[in-house]
Structure formats: structure tokens, C-alpha cells
Structure 1
Amino acid sequence: MITLFVNMFINDYFPLFVAAVGLVPLLTGCLCYWWAMRPKLVATFHPRDLQTSYLGALTLPFALFLAFMVSDIWNRETRYAQTVLQEVQRLDAMLDIAKVCGPTCAPVDDAVGVYARALSKYEWDEGWVYPDTQVSRSFDGVVAAVAAAEADTTVAAHMRSALLNGQIELRRLRTDRYFILHADLAPHRWIVVLLLGVLSQIGLAALHVGKKPQLVLGLATFSVAFSVTLAYTIALAWPTVDESIIPSEELRRILE
């Protein structure tokens, strides 16, 4: 159910999805404030009985887990960018081969261009989750064009081999990109982050039961920091290609 809900929103409403996730810590912070200011709790609960280390024992696992998670996401974003760069280079190389091959390989040139534009529009963008059907159809066009060139005996053997190897490499890189995106995107990680964050809010509220100024300041600053960090982490979880890392001339050539 969680996966279905996420997939429904990140395709067309990704910024709204990120904002909605970022609102969760703010809502739980408000709930903790309401709980800590209830008259019955203020009358019976004495925060002075708690040690300040109590809050640290809650926030330390939260901070460490989130730090390791963000580190994994940053490393994955680097691998994703490298894979996209390799795709661009392979597409560019296949265009070169098709042009050297001459008019016989013109269908390959056209098919590779269509595939490159489909990748740029549907799968190199932020929010991509599963292989897009339009990209898959355009790749089928590349396969058909390469197969036709393979069957044409007027095309030199080394050209046919290079085109076939390029097609195989493009399929592998697309699969690698899918794997990189999903390898560390387990839903239970986000549940653990939210649970540890909410426990930290509860601990912060418990230390300031009935103390409105301290409670507002503590919960507000922590909840805002929690919200911004969580939203930023969610935004990073679905990487997008950074066109600044790809030579503009090379990118323009495969997309035009």
C-alpha cells in the first residue's frame, strides 16, 4: 500500500509529495506540544525527574541513522550520475558509428535519437521509478534498426559488431540505473527515520512538560530541522541527471 501511494505521487506530483512528507514532523511536533501541555499531565508528570541524557539517548540513534542514510543516498546519486554519463557516451558513440556506416545505417541514427530524447524526457528526470513504456518502445526501435543493419551484408562486419555491442551496453546501463535507484530505497528505512524522529520529539516534550516557552522553542526548532532534513532526503532519494556534469556539446548532439 505504501509503495502504491508513493508511486502514484512521485511521477506527476513529486514536489507536492516532498512537501507532504516534510509536513509530517511538524504535525507530530504539534501533537507532542498538545500532549505536553495537557493539564492532567502537567499536574502529575515532573520533568525534573528525567536526566538530560535521556534526550541524548533518543536523538543519537536518530542522528546516526539519518546520517548513514543520507551518506548512502549521496553515494547512490554519484553512481546514478556516472551511469547516465555512460549512457550519453554510448549513445554518442552509436551515432558516430551510424554516420560512418552511411545511408544504410540511417535508421539506426534515427532510432538512437528517438531513444535519447525519450530517456531525457521520461527517465533521466527526477521522480522516475519504473521503466517507462515509451522509453521501452523507443528502445525496441533501436533493436529493430540494429537487427536490420546486422542482416545487411553491405554493412562492414566490424560496424555491425559495434552497433550490436552498443545496443547491449545501452540495455545494461538502463538496467543498472534501475538497480541503483531501487537498491537502497526500502520503505522500512523511512519508517525507522520517522519513528526515531518522533521519539526524539516525545523526549523533548517530556523534558519541558508545562514549560510553554521552553517547549515551544525546543519543539519548534527540532521539528523544523527534522522537517527540512526529511524533505531534503526524500528529494535526494529519487535522483535526477545533473546536466552540468555532461559535456553540453555531447548532450545537445544526442538530443537534437
Structure 2
Amino acid sequence: MDLGAFDHYFYALVALVGTVLAAWFMLWVTLKSPWADEIKTYRGVSPPFLGVVGVLFALTLAFLANDTWNAHDRALNTVHQEADALRSIKALAVHLPPQSRAAVDKAVGDYARITVDEDWPLLAKRQSSKEASDRLDALLALLSGNDIAAATPAGAHALMLAQVTQVRAARGQRIALSQTHVNPLKWLGMAGLGFLTMISIAMVHVDQARAEILAVAIFAAAAAPTAAIVLVQGNPFQPPSVVTEAPFRSLLSP
């Protein structure tokens, strides 16, 4: 198994464990460490100061989450566009003689079948099927051949070629979205802002131990799962939020 294809699960675990360790370390430093008394001399930090760093952290996490949701939506739209283009090719093939129409239907069905059986499982591993690529090339070659061109009205043939081009573009986009990796630098920046927010919370409550423990714990309980949820959805073709191959399966129905 290519563990690099599942790196976002590892980063999600790091986010959970790292936040817990950071919270424990912060509370130990401010309450139990040899420097605790010295740190308490910095009491008096104004609570509104917490909002400055907190807002920056929240915005950074929101932008990262938005990137993830957008990738999922783009993948879903791309899959439907690809399947719809294949349906359009089959619909336009009604203008062809029975033998040519059967050849087009078979080529479309072969591509849809290999996409479901081989291409889709590979997307979760950030790979793609060469066989699916070959079947798509065969479909393009068939539609651009002289036999199909001669048997189809000019306008319908141009539309068929436009649709198969759309299939190629959508497949390329689908594969590109499946190969998106977590950007460690973005998440490192978010983690740094999160830690600064935790320091701000601790310093605002530095002279109230019980309030400090509660505030830091609540922040950790809110930030860590949220970051983990965003991270585990880094690939739209992996669980828990999977873009399925259902639009292609419908092409295989009689």
C-alpha cells in the first residue's frame, strides 16, 4: 500500500495528539513548572487581546476547510460532467446506422465499465488506470473516424467530438483532484496560530488556575477535532466523504 496516498490521515492524527500535548504542556508550564510563579507576574493581559490571535487562527482554519470542501464539490461536478458527456454521445449516436451506433454504444460502455472496475479504486490511491485511458483513446478514435463522420450529420458529429473532448478534460480534472496532497506549510502555519491562541488563553487566565484549565481544554476540544475532520477529507475519493462512481454505473444499465 502506498502510505503516501493516505498522508492526510497521519496529519489528522498529528493534529489530535499534538493539540492534546500542547494543551498539557501549556498548563504544566503555567501551573506546575519551576517558572510558574514568574509567568504569573505577567497577569493582567486584557481578554480582548485574545480575539486578535483567535480570529487569525479561525480565519486560517476556515480557509483551509473551504479549500477542502471546494475540492470535494469540484470532484463531484467533474464526475457528473464526465458521465453526462458520455450520455450525450450515446444520445447523438441515434443518427448513426445500427452497426455504427452499436459500435459507439459499446465503446462508451467499455470506457464506463473500466472506469468503474479499475479507475475508481485507483483514485483512492492517487493513481489512474492506463486501460481506462486506452479505452477513452479508442472512443475518440472511433468518433473521429471517417465512417462515423460520413454517417453523421455535420452538426451532430461536431457535438459528439466536443463531448468526447469534454470527457477527456473531465477525466484529467478528476485524476488531478485525486492526487492533491496536504500542504504541510499551510497546516504548520495554522498550528502555529493555534498554539499562539492557546498561549493567549493561558495568559488571560494565568492567575485563575481552574478557569485556565477549563478555557484551554475547551479550546483544544474545539480546535483539534475540527482540524482533523478537515484533514481526513483531503482526498475526495477516499472515506469518509467519497465521490462515488454511481453516474458511471447508470451508463452500464441496459
TM range (shorter): 0.7 to 0.9
- Aligned residue among 12, 22, 39 for 1:28: 22
Q: Name the SS for the 2:186 alignment partner.
A: helix
Q: Are the counterparts in 2 of residues 33 and 216 from structure 1 also a CA contact under 8 Å? A: yes
Deviation (angstroms), 1:62? 0.7
CA distance in 2, matches of 1:223, 1:165: 52
Identity of aligned residues (%): 24
Matches of 2:183 and 2:119 in 1, distance apart? 20
Contact 2:11 2:231 in 1 (8 A): no
Following superposition, the deviation at residue 33 of structure 1 comes to 2.4
Using the TM superposition, give the Cα deviation of residue 196 of structure 1 relative to its aligned residue in structure 2, in angstroms: 0.7
Alignment partners' CA distance in 2, 1:226 and 1:195: 13
2:35 to 34, 38, 41: 41
Distance between the aligned counterparts of 1:121 and 1:32, measured in 2?
A: 51
* 1:82 alignment partner in structure 2: 77
Q: How does 1:142-157 map to 2 (within 5 A)?
A: 142-148=136-142, 150-151=144-145, 153=147, 156-157=151-152
Q: CA deviation at 1:233?
A: 1.8
Cα offsets for 1:219-256 (capped at 9, x unmatched)? 2111111012112222344335656xx9x7x6542244
Query: Matches of 1:17 and 1:65 in 2, distance apart?
Result: 17
Q: What residue ranges of structure 2 are gaps of 5+ in the alignment? A: none
User: Deviation string for 1:18-65 (max 9, x for gaps)?
Assistant: 445433322322222232233312121114232223322221211122
Q: Alignment partner of 1:40: what SS?
A: coil
Q: What 5-or-longer segments of structure 1 have no aligned partner?
A: none
Partner letter of residue 65 of structure 2?
A: V
* TM-score, normalisation: structure 1: 0.73
CA distance in 1, matches of 2:122, 2:35: 46
Q: Offset at 1:149?
A: 5.0
- Mean alpha-carbon deviation: is it higher for 221-230 or for 158-167? 158-167
Taking structure 2 as the reference length, the TM-score comes to 0.74
Choose the corresponding residue for 2:166, options 169, 176, 194. 169
Determine the C-alpha separation between the residues in 2 that align with 1:210 and 1:118.
65
The alignment yields a C-alpha RMSD, in angstroms, of 3.7
CA distance in 2, matches of 1:229, 1:123: 31
Opposite residue 187 of structure 2, the aligned amino acid is W
Q: 1:111 to 1:235 in 2, by over 3 A?
A: farther
Q: 1:21 to 1:79 in 2, by over 3 A?
A: same
User: Counterpart of 1:103?
Assistant: 99
Q: 1:16 to 1:71 in 2, by over 3 A?
A: closer
Structure 2 residue 62 is the aligned partner of structure 1 residue 71: no
Could you tell me whether the CA contact under 8 Å between 1:127 and 1:239 is conserved in 2?
A: no
The 8 Å contact of residues 111 and 138 in structure 1, kept in 2 or not, is answered as: no
